[in-house]
Amino acid sequence: MSFLDTIKGLFFGAADAETTAVYAGEGDAGRVIAALRGVIDPELGKDVVHLGMIRGVSVVAGVARIRLTPTTAGCPLTGWLTTACEQAVASIGLQGTVELVLDPPWAPSDIEG
């Protein structure tokens, strides 16, 4: 576990194994996260992974479940981001479903260092 993960754990609780696997780039979840790095938030100009909007990824039987937290609860681009994530997953031969997660809310501290 990195120093940053330790600090985040102190403030936000320990990262679950699913999210840890995603950021470690392991298996199908790692392939999904790599594909999601191609989804650029049009307002912020950075990818959804770098921005810390991806809360978790699991892949079961060729279906990737992505947990996405928009930067604001009323984000007007939520529909676009959902579709873009699903298309990114389809580009690697998997089906993607996106679950919006609003709690805990996104914060600037979620951005990768």
| pTM summary value | 0.77
Once rounded to an integer, what is the mean pLDDT over residues 23-42? Answer: 87
Domain covering 3-110, topology:
GMP Synthetase; Chain A, domain 3 (3.30.300)
Contacts of 34 (CB under 8 A, 6+ apart): 25
Once rounded to an integer, what is the mean pLDDT over residues 13-18? Answer: 44
Per-residue pLDDT band at 21 (split at 50, 70, 90) = very low
- Select from 46, 49, 47, 56 the least CA-distant residue to 21: 56
SS3 state at 93: coil
For residue 84 the two structure tokens come to 């873009």
Once rounded to an integer, what is the mean pLDDT over residues 5-33? Answer: 58
pLDDT digits (tens, 9 = 90+) for 43-58: 999 999 999 999 999 9
63 pLDDT above the threshold of 60: yes
- Predicted confidence at residue 113, as pLDDT, reads 72
Answer yes or no: are the C-beta atoms of 95 and 63 closer than 8 Å.
yes
- Predicted confidence at residue 24, as pLDDT, reads 52
